[in-house]
Amino acid sequence: DGGITQSPKYLFRKEGQNVTLSCEQNLNHDAMYWYRQDPGQGLRLIYYSQIVNDFQKGDIAEGYSVSREKKESFPLTVTSAQKNPTAFYLCASSAGLTDLGLFGAGTRLSVL
Amino acid sequence: AQSVTQPDIHITVSEGASLELRCNYSYGATPYLFWYVQSPGQGLQLLLKYFSGDTLVQGIKGFEAEFKRSQSSFNLRKPSVHWSDAAEYFCAVARGGIKAAGNKLTFGGGTRVLVKP
């Protein structure tokens, strides 16, 4: 079945540590997105990529980095520069406007 | 810049009663509008979307939404709620009229729905 897979489901980060969240899709979608969700604030866009080897900053990119070496993969690294990383992270993908709205199940990141 | 407002943070409704969730957007051109539902600890599920045409949109789980351009609104409704409808609901807008790939969603803050037995 086609879909978007995020892993791990839960992740813990120590102070000063970088952690990487995985997002894989087998839908052959060109565009992929990372959102951060905090209580009461809805979702905010971190990074997005329209095509392999290209990505753009979203609204809250500071402290995060991404890569897009393969069409099906868009990993997100939460760096030590992100001082408040505790949140629910959601990945999405789309082939076109009518495909907007497909999300993974999310990764919950907490700080130890 | 586009923005989405969901005025109600929480709504409590009795099982079997009707439900209406409000969504107001700000966008200069024709918006593409979405409603999502999120159960605790889960990802987002798309309920319905509006691109063009009939302003009354039918979605999954018995939900519908009506686009009113004059009021910049896209309210979500359900005639009779079930206990399983207790969740958080998000309205979102995407830019319309441009190449779709890379089109970003702007979300409202969400409305949490509680269902009383």
| CB of B23 closer than 8 Å to CB of A74 | no
Residue B103: which pLDDT band, with cuts at 50, 70 and 90? low
Calculate how close chain B gets to A7, using CA atoms only, in Å: 13
Nearest CA in chain A to B5: A42
pLDDT digits (tens, 9 = 90+) for B64-95: 999 999 999 999 999 999 999 999 999 998 86
pLDDT given at position B101: 45
- Using a CB-CB cut-off of 8 Å, the residues of chain B touching A31 are 100-103
Calculate how close chain A gets to B6, using CA atoms only, in Å: 10
pLDDT given at position A105: 92
Mean pLDDT across chain A: 91
Nearest CA in chain A to B109: A42
pLDDT at B97 over 60: no
Nearest CA in chain A to B52: A98
Calculate how close chain B gets to A98, using CA atoms only, in Å: 8
pLDDT digits (tens, 9 = 90+) for B6-29: 999 999 999 999 999 999 998 777
Range A8-14 average pLDDT: 93
- Using the beta-carbon criterion (under 8 Å), do B101 and A103 form an inter-chain contact? no
Whether chain A has a CB inside 8 Å of the CB on B104: the answer is: yes
Calculate how close chain A gets to B61, using CA atoms only, in Å: 16
Q: Mind giving me the DSSP string for chain A?
A: ---EEEE-SEEEE-TT--EEEEEEE-S--SEEEEEEE-TTS-EEEEEEEEETTEEEE-SS-TTEEE--SBTTB--EEE-TT-S---EEEEEEEESSGGGTTEE---EEEEE-
pLDDT digits (tens, 9 = 90+) for B29-70: 778 899 999 998 788 999 999 988 889 999 999 999 999 999
Mutate one of A36, A43, A53, A109 to test the B interface: name it (highest B CB count within 10 A): A43
- Using a CB-CB cut-off of 8 Å, the residues of chain A touching B51 are 97-98
Which is it for the CA torsion A90, B32, A29, A3, positive or negative?
Answer: positive
- Using a CB-CB cut-off of 8 Å, the residues of chain B touching A108 are 41
Nearest CA in chain A to B36: A101
Q: Which of A33, A41, A106 sits opposite B109 (nearest CB)?
A: A41
